[in-house]
Chains A and B, each alone.
Chain A
Amino acid sequence: MKGDMMKITWHGHSAFEIDGSNKTFIDPFLSRNRMAKIRWEDVKPDVIAVTHGHGDHFGDTVNIARSTGCKIIAISEIADYLFTKGLNVIDMNIGGTVDLGVRYSMVPAVHSSSIDDKGMRNAVGIAVGFVIRDGPTTIYHAGDTALFSDMSLIHDLYHPDVAMLPIGGCFTMDANAAVLAVKMIKPRIVLPMHYNTFDNIMADPGQFKRAVEEQTDTKVILLESGESIEI
């Protein structure tokens, strides 16, 4: 993308492609994602940002990074794991920022994190969210999280234009709790995520949109998988 525009494409679940000064892919869960319309082989990001180790977020990270040589941004423990695979990893931790022209800040999430490897499930680091600042545009990808009151600090510190928030419940906040999150984060636009991918995270995004738009100044945009917004 040229100029100050940014294109955000949803691939279902929590997988988003951000096309601005560079191409960032957040949580590239594609090959086992029934909503994804692209294959991991078609993805050529400059940077992958991984919010935590669970398969529906970590997804195809290793395959994409191995085939493209892209950078991976992750919390220290996941970064250590990826270093052992010989990948191009940038380690960071919560509260920190990495500046690659586009600035990546790691923020808290309330969730667990583990990686399945060689049949073993190992706790790896902790789950996080990302604030990504590219020129005048700031987006907040919450990762998997419950509602937490420090979301209001994400507003105070970063003033996100766009927030991607999980609404599916069961593993994260549901639509009701996500409305409260919107009130704390106060973004211009919300993109709901992490719903309807599995039978146990079914949610009604239309109802979420109505509740948010009745109670706040934020606009909710419901994307189909593969669809984009430009801001």
Chain B
Amino acid sequence: MDIAKETGCKVVTVNEIARYLQSKEIDAIGANIGGTIEIDGVKYTRVPAVHSNGIDEAGFGWDAGSPADFVIGDSCVIYHAGDTAVFQDMSLIHELYKPRVAMLPIGGRFTMDVSTALMAVKLIKPGIVIPMHYNTFDVIQADANKFKQMVEEQTDSEVIILKSCDTIEV
């Protein structure tokens, strides 16, 4: 919200969160799961995730619609899984979009952990995996190197472990 207010950028999100943000006078675009929005030649497709979702406002969970994540792309397809457990329909993300890069949570407790994210890689079959949602808090500590080793032994995907602010070009 702070970023959107400061820059005036667009926010692409699920309908319920879009309505919430519009009430804050933010340029929010609602899409729902399975839908695609094209902005400046980049296509944003919402896909499912298995997680809960609440926005803290007025001290009680706001039922903010179901979490859904993005496949961004055209020539280069990126899949950002958001917070999620592993689910078999991840194989549909492979069939529909063939992502070149997948960002997957590995921290456990609130999402899949290293071993279940390995199952996710086998379903999504991306060229590159960037692990995320780990080591930010004490309760989501994970060994990204172990994840890299397991994925690269058992699949054709490459795992790139980024440090904060590191970049890759694909």
A residues whose Cβ falls under 8 Å from a Cβ of B = 75-77, 80-81, 84, 91-98, 106-108, 122-126, 149-150, 152-153, 156-157
Contact = CB atoms under 8 A, between A and B. Distances in A.
Nearest to B66: A126
A122 B61 contact: yes
Given A76-B54, A92-B110, A95-B86, 7 more contacts: A76-B52, A93-B52, A95-B108, A95-B113, A122-B60, A125-B61, A152-B88
B24 to A, nearest CB: 21
Contacts of B66: 126
B51 A93 contact: yes
B59 interface: yes
Contacts, number: 81
Given A125-B61, A150-B87, A96 B113 contact: yes
* Chain B interface main SS type: loop
A123 B63 contact: yes
A185 to B, nearest CB: 14
A80 B61 contact: yes
A31 to B, nearest CB: 25
B50 A81 contact: no
B52 A126 contact: yes
Nearest to A157: B116
A75 B53 CA distance: 10
Given A94-B52, A123-B63, A156-B119, A76 B88 contact: no
A149 to B, nearest CB: 6
Contacts of B56: 80
Contacts of B110: 76, 91-93, 95-96
B86 A81 contact: no
A93 B88 contact: no
A98 B59 CA distance: 25
B157 interface: no
Nearest to B123: A153
B61 A153 contact: no
B85 interface: yes
B87 A77 contact: no
B109 A84 contact: no
B54 A108 contact: no
Contact of B85 (A84, A98, A107, A125): A107
B45 interface: no
Contacts of B84: 94-95
Contact of A93 (B61, B83, B86, B87): B83
B60 A97 contact: no
A95 B50 contact: yes
A95 B61 CA distance: 21
**8 pairs of A and B residues whose beta carbons are closest in the complex:** A95-B85, A96-B109, A93-B110, A123-B63, A77-B61, A95-B112, A94-B85, A125-B52
B32 interface: no
B13 interface: no
Nearest to A156: B119
A94 B50 contact: yes
A95 to B, nearest CB: 3
Given A95-B111, A95-B116, A126-B52, A149 B61 contact: no
A93 B54 CA distance: 12
A96 B108 contact: yes
Contact of A81 (B51, B61, B83, B113): B61
Nearest to A151: B88
Contact of B52 (A77, A97, A156, A157): A77
B109 A125 contact: no
Contacts of B109: 92-93, 96-98
